[in-house]
Structure 1
Amino acid sequence: MFFDFVTGVTIGTIAGAYVVNEVRGHAVLLSPVVMVICTLALGYSTLKSLKIRKLFKGEPIVIIQNGKILEKNMLKARYTLDALEMQLRENKVFNLNEVEFAVLEADGKLSVLKKTPYKPVTPKDLGLKTSYQGLATELIKDGTVLEQNLKQNNLDLNWLYKELYKQNIDDLSKVILASLNTDGSLYLDLKNENPAYTQKIED
């Protein structure tokens, strides 16, 4: 959070000034200790008290309601149309007509609920059955085998070597990343495996 960032910078500045002898006296070092204690106490207080949390963390503000921009709320949050349009684009919304609700969160991010006709169609909407899709498991990273991850998936080194052999890989050091997908397939990325053409995005 912003408050924690400012506190960290302040403590670093005080410590740096002490090291280069811009300030003298060991008592100066008490101020970072006091600031850390106050920061921890404030963090604990925000967990326990809703009023304190609202005071220091802020609370969400509705910016668009039922497709209409709430100017008073924008003024209250010191939020401009330019910022609104930018954050809508970040949410893949380029037309305000598509927005039902938009909420400015306490951390400055914009949450957007599109109108029903503009929501993407899901397999559930179409009555389609879907298979489970979880997180991929890393098995090799920077040429090092993560044996614990192999064991968690009831696999061993023999299985891994066989899979690598199928891909004509005989040296683990050549592998930047190997991960096991939930469907049982193995993703591999090798060192110095550069494409014939590298896409450029600059003008």
Structure 2
Amino acid sequence: MWSLDWGSEDAWILLNAELEPGSGWSDLSVLVPIAALGYDQKKYVYFVTESGNEYPHNGGFEEWALQDVDRGCLEVTKVVDWQGVDPDPEQTFYVDVIYPDGVITITLEFDYTGGTQTVEGLMPGVYTVVEQDPGAAWLVSGSTYPVEVTTDSACAEVTVTNTYNFGCLSVEKVVDWNGVPEDTAKMFYVDVLDADDMLVGTLEFG
């Protein structure tokens, strides 16, 4: 909740009904910081006002209306680098766009090919783009990225890149000659297979 009496002293707004009399006309504007009300555009703002407390009325009623502000947009590009392995069509990635007040405004879903999505109608401010954890198989760059959205005609832009993370395997070869003379020309070969029994590589030991 935001109150005009935000400090230690009472505060009020002095209205003059003679400025522009009549219903539907704007006499003045009252500016309330967006940060005080929150950035979630799905929530309502309830406005409560009292008249005549400090000065007597000189008008029969007062009308208030919300004056919309210019908005901006954010373009999020997802780059997926499979590093030469066969892409998994079931792979999905999720990127959160977070309001300046810490509330998640929208979650974008990207498939295994990546792509670009645009979020429209954002209030001006500094947003944070964060990718949800895609798992140990992926290296992520560009996530947890602050980006300023303005009312300029061009959208703010951010790119989040996922690179397939190859693991590693260490193989130690132990040879026990069991007392016989060592054959220095003897070679040993170890095949490494993947989960589908496909040959990944062959290791050579002397």
TM-score strictly above 0.5 = no
Q: Structure with the greater relative contact order (CA < 8 A, sep ≥ 6): 1 or 2?
A: 2
**Shorter-normalised TM range:** under 0.3
- The two structures have a TM-score, normalised by structure 2, of 0.21
Larger Rg: 2
Structure with the higher fraction of residues in helix conformation: 1
